[in-house]
Structure 1
Amino acid sequence: MTSMNKVFADLPVTIFEAMSQAARDNNAINLGQGFPDDPGPEDIRRAAADAVLNGYNQYPSMMGLPELRQAIAAHYARWHQLDLDPMSEVMVTSGGTEALTSAILAVVEPGDEVICFQPVYDSYLPIIRQAGGIPKLVRLEPPHWRLSEEMLRSAFTPKTKAVLFNNPLNPAAVVYPREDLELLARFCHEFDAVAICDEVWEHVVFDGREHIPLITIPGMRDRTIKVGSAGKIFSLTGWKIGFVCAAPPLLRVAAKVHQFLTFTTAPNLQVAVAYGLGKSDDYFLSMRAELARSRDRLTAGLERLGF
């Protein structure tokens, strides 16, 4: 088996398919894949339907529809005071995983070390290995799952090319405070490393916590690739609309990778996501409150069962 075949042979895709099938067969709640119970916001779905019937259905721009790129930039300006040029610092991809793939393949070369914090999303290691990189796993410790000076000092080396950072952290549900982000930023500077930030859960924050994108930490603007996902934001997981935000030198290289992965994404879905990102703050705050109620209900049920 060639090394590239070995990379793909190690992909754990069948685990999730098997769990989903078992859940269907046994009429059980599926905790293996994130299938929302709700079909998604009706007005956003109607916007997609209208766009497919009355809009443009040919190849859209490889970088994404200008209206969606503008909406992404405006959304992050509103929520995080992040100033992005939509034409040179924002790219649309076919989902968050493709966004991560474009970012990793753009930055990592054979022999480069990439720091990953455990627990890790299942696609990280295969993509890093596909790029020829060497994953360097750092174990986060419960119950707080926080970063520390000692932890980072033991992980970063002169071979460190990138750090793959998931915030909020799935599945540990940590929303990292500013002091952890500043600590990680300091190490990225010291070792001249790029931060690839998986922030697809950025709107799923509870109890007054605030998501702070690493790209907004002083000194990280030009060495961070921020990844977002409309599928996670709007609970429309099948749409597979991802975002890549980065300074022009990083985005240009990621775009070259994206060109030969998926090239572009369904234009009607891009139109609908642009509409959705422009919804009022009340929509996003209400969504968080509803998810928090579901979390509290699940927590209470598990406690009654003795967990």
Structure 2
Amino acid sequence: MIQLPKSKLPNVGTTIFSQMTQLANEHQAINLSQGFPDFPADAQLIALADEYMKKGFNQYAPLGGMLPLKERIAEKIENSHQAIYHPETEITITAGGTQAIFTTIATLVKEGDEVIIFEPAYDCYEPTVELFGGKVKRFKMKAPNYEIDWNIVKNLVTEKTKLIILNNPNNPSGKILREEDMQELIKIVKGTSIFILSDEVYENIVFDEKKHLSICKYPELKERSFLIASFGKLFHITGWKIGYCAAPKALTEEFRKVHQFNVFCVNTPLQLALADYMKDDSNYLYLSNFFQEKRDFLREGLRQTSFELLDCEGTYFQALKYDKISDKNDFDFAQELTIQHKVATIPFSSFYQDKMNENVIRLCFAKKTETLEKAIENLAKL
């Protein structure tokens, strides 16, 4: 019998998202766990994809991506954040945001390098750092405010610190970084060789007239940063798995060295469809209002329950504290909700390395109104 190789990720199993979706399917529960819409993408975008396939654009795209799409991205960034990226040399189309994150970490992190992350954290950061021999150092943001104490973060920095990973707006907490956060970050990295990975896939989903502050708005940060974004969140097409990385030319050159052996290139006709679709910025500028209506609908419906509604400033996730309802840990409570009350959620402990339990769960409200209505009805019975 062949001897299996020693696992490079011995502590990693099936993701919580897959687990809860499977449980939802087994028990015919409403799936508010995984972050994907249950409503269709715009028919115009689908038609554009079909058009480019029929026109014969079905072969490999260039390594960095199709130029028309990169030009639209550069325009979007300049209009939104007043920052300039050269389409040809500073923007790379990726197979989703997660691939861009993986490739950035692969580009930078070597054995013994330290990487600072902020928990609760998206689940791909830490395993990828470990794959390349890096060491993760964590700052825990805690309920109910999930704020950052930059004095503590400063003490995490050593001569081995290679990378700081930000997620803004943050999944799962829904919090956004403020001007004072960005200024504190500038102080920390000034005069160092620390790089920044800024995961901004929810940048266009920010509520209550708040502003998303992109890493690229700040020249002191832009010069050392990899800006990651995703069309899945922008256009309700998570299954297309198309995103991008924007970074200064020298960083992009190194990024593409890894990218070419990771996926090489991304779906050609879909890139061209997206390029055409983005010519009209109203196709994404409506998102904050669109999802705020869904957020407000869910929050209003849940006010009749004993859940504590935590702040949701961005993303399409609502965090709920349930300690007035149950004393079970969040994983057991999420299972109970799925099996007995037919609503699948994600336990917040999954976003902490030590599985810290704060009696908080996450709901996705990127759903049809009737889906949210049924979920509210079920949760109101608790």
Offset, 1:268: 1.0
Letter in 1 for 2:8: K
1:305 paired residue number: 305
Larger-gyration structure (1/2): 2
- 1:289 maps to which residue? 289
Alpha-carbon shift at residue 14 of structure 1 (Å)? 4.5
- What residue in structure 1 maps to residue 315 of structure 2? none
Number of matched pairs = 304
TM-score by length of 2: 0.76
Q: In the superposition, relative to structure 1, how do residues 14 and 174 fare at CA in structure 2: closer, same or farther (>3 Å)? A: closer
1:64-84 deviation per Cα after TM superposition (whole angstroms, max 9, x unaligned): 001111111111111111111
Aligned ranges 1:1-307 → 2 under 5 Å: 5-7=7-9, 9-280=10-281, 282-307=282-307
Residue pair 2:94, 2:242 contacting (<8 A) in 1 also: yes
Amino acid at match of 1:305: T
CA gap 1:211/1:12 in 2 versus in 1, 3 angstroms: farther
| Identity across the alignment (%) | 34
Q: What CA distance in whole angstroms lies between the structure 1 residues aligned with 2:166 and 2:241?
A: 21
RMSD: 1.5
Q: AA paired with 2:94? A: T
Aligned amino acid, residue 239 of structure 2? G
Contact 1:75 1:278 (C-alpha < 8 Å) held by counterparts: no
Distance 1:217 1:142 in 2: 29
Moved more, 180-189 or 158-167: 180-189
Gaps of 5+ in 1: none
* Counterpart residue identity of residue 166, structure 2: F
CA offset at residue 245 of structure 1?
Answer: 0.3
Q: How much does 1:11 deviate?
A: 3.4
Q: Could you say which residue in structure 1 is the equivalent of 2:373? A: none
Instruction: Please give the secondary structure, in 2, of the residue aligned with 1:300.
Output: helix
Separation in 2 of the partners of 1:154 and 1:132?
22
Runs of 4+ aligned residues of structure 1 deviating over 4 Å after TM superposition are none
Q: Distance in 2 between matches of 1:155 and 1:35?
A: 34
Structure 2 CA distance for partners of 1:303 and 1:190, relative to 1, 3 Å: farther
Using a 3 Å threshold, how does the CA distance of structure 1 residues 12 and 232 change in structure 2: closer, same or farther?
farther
CA positional deviation for 1:237: 0.2
Give CA-to-partner distance per residue, 1:161-181, whole Å, 9 cap, x none: 000110011111111111101
The one-letter code of the counterpart of 1:98 is Q
Compute the displacement of 1:12 (Å): 3.9
Residue 24 (structure 1) shift: 1.9
Q: Secondary structure at the match of 1:273?
A: helix
Secondary structure of the corresponding residue to residue 85 of structure 2: coil
Between stretches 254-263 and 35-44, larger displacement belongs to 35-44
Q: CA deviation at 1:147?
A: 2.3
Structure 1 residue 220 displacement after superposition: 1.5
Whole-angstrom distance in 2 between the partners of 1:81 and 1:188: 22
Task: Report the alpha carbon displacement of residue 25 of structure 1 after superposing the two structures with TM.
Answer: 2.5
How many Å separate the matches in 2 of 1:190 and 1:302?
48
Q: CA deviation at 1:27?
A: 2.2
On the 8 A contact 1:117/1:140 being kept in 2, the answer is yes
Instruction: Tell me, in whole angstroms, the C-alpha distance in 2 between the residues paired with 1:181 and 1:278.
Output: 31
Taking the aligned partners of 1:233 and 1:49, their CA distance within structure 2 comes to: 19
> Could you tell me whether the CA contact under 8 Å between 1:196 and 1:227 is conserved in 2?
yes
Question: Runs of 5+ in structure 2 lacking a partner?
Answer: 308-382
How far did 1:2 drift? 5.2
**What SS is found at the alignment partner of 1:165?**
strand
Q: Give me the whole-angstrom Cα distance separating, in 2, the residues matched to 1:48 and 1:157.
A: 48
1:226-247 alpha-carbon deviations (Å, 9 max, x no partner)? 0000011111000000100000
Inter-partner Cα distance in structure 2 for 1:149 and 1:91: 31
Say if 2:228 and 2:243, in contact at 8 Å, map to a contact too.
Answer: yes
Alpha-carbon distance, 1:10 to partner: 3.4
Kindly provide the amino acid, as one letter, of the partner of residue 288 in structure 1. Answer: S
Deviation at 1:37, TM superposition (A): 1.6
More displaced stretch, 213-222 vs 73-82: 213-222
8 Å CA contact 1:10, 1:126 repeated in 2: no
The 1-side partners of 2:118 and 2:284 are apart by: 28
